[in-house]
């Protein structure tokens, strides 16, 4: 089930809203101002602001940063305590709350209530069943809509009775990019933006 462990902190709510607005406007100055100097950019990879800028090609108008970070912030988050340092608030909640006994590589979780599972990759296809916050086995993460002019993308999932399709924005993998933040005396700082939180 979804959680948002920082929702009760008014400073987080105002910060998140400001960051989402900055992402929508492609406000590079603000985004860079909240990046921790030692940010984790990948699991076991280089840390720091220079690597962050290079990895996300932040000066490019079509940088994946705007979409990936917005998607991570759209869902709630959970606190994670690592071996050293303060607890981090990581969003979305999917990665920090993922069960240890489920393989993260071939599963995803439905992140919406009453998600229609379709018989084909089309909104007009028959509905097979309805899922809410279920962990499912994924057969294919990238399926185009049956209609060539439709922009909707689909994810093929396995059901007890066969296979079905759900809209890509209603399912998330635990190994997608996770953003982590720490509250400091100078406000919130982003300490990671990496697959699985780095």
The first and second tokens of residue 93, run together, are 């909640």
Domain with CATH 2.30.30.40 in the chain: 107-172
Task: For residue 51, give the 3-state DSSP assignment.
Answer: helix
Distance CA 126, CA 161 (A): 14
- CATH architecture of the domain 10-98+174-195 equals Roll (3.10)
DSSP string, 90-129: EESTTTTT--TTS-TTSEEEE-SSSEEEESSSSTTSPEEE
| Residue 173 near residue 136, CB atoms below 8 Å | no
What pLDDT score does 142 carry? 94
| Residue 92 near residue 172, CB atoms below 8 Å | yes
Q: Strand locations in 23-69, DSSP E? A: 35-40
Q: Rounded to 5 degrees, what are φ and ψ at 82? A: -90, 180
Domain 107-172 CATH assignment equals 2.30.30.40: yes
Domain with CATH 3.10.450 in the chain: 10-98+174-195
pLDDT in tens, the chain (198 residues): 889 998 889 999 999 999 999 999 999 999 999 999 999 998 667 899 999 999 999 888 889 999 999 999 988 999 998 777 789 999 999 999 999 999 999 999 999 999 999 999 999 999 999 999 999 999 999 999 999 888 999 999 999 889 999 999 999 999 989 999 999 999 999 999 988 666
Q: How many CB atoms lie within 10 A of CB 54?
A: 12
| Residue 164 near residue 177, CB atoms below 8 Å | no
C-alpha count within 13 angstroms, C-beta hemisphere, residue 4: 13
What pLDDT score does 198 carry? 60
The long-range contacts involving 126-131, CB below 8 angstroms and separated by at least 24 positions, are 128/159, 128/161, 128/164, 129/159, 129/164, 131/166
Q: CA-CA distances (angstroms) from residue 195 to 112, 125, 130?
A: 21, 33, 29
Q: Is 156 exposed, middle or buried (0-12, 13-18, 19+ CB in 10 A)?
A: middle
């Amino acid at each position: 089930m979804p959680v948002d462990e920082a929702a009760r902190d008014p400073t987080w709510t105002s910060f998140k809203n400001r960051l989402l607005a900055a992402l929508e406007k492609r406000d590079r100055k603000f985004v860079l101002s909240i990046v921790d100097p030692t940010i984790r950019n990948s699991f076991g990879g280089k840390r720091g602001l220079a690597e962050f800028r290079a990895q996300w090609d932040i000066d490019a108008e079509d940088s994946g940063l705007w979409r990936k970070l917005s998607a991570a912030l759209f869902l709630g988050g959970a606190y994670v305590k690592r071996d050293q340092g303060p607890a981090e608030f990581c969003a979305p909640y999917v990665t920090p709350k993922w069960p240890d006994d489920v393989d993260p590589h071939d599963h995803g979780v439905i992140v919406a209530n009453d998600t229609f599972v379709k018989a084909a990759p089309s909104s007009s296809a028959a509905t097979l069943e309805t899922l809410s916050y279920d962990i499912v086995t994924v057969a294919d993460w990238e399926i185009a809509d049956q209609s060539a002019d439709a922009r909707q993308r689909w994810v093929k999932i396995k059901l007890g009775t066969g296979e079905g399709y759900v809209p890509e924005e209603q399912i998330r993998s635990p190994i997608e990019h996770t953003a982590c933040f720490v509250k400091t005396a100078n406000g919130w700082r982003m300490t990671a933006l990496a697959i699985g939180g780095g």
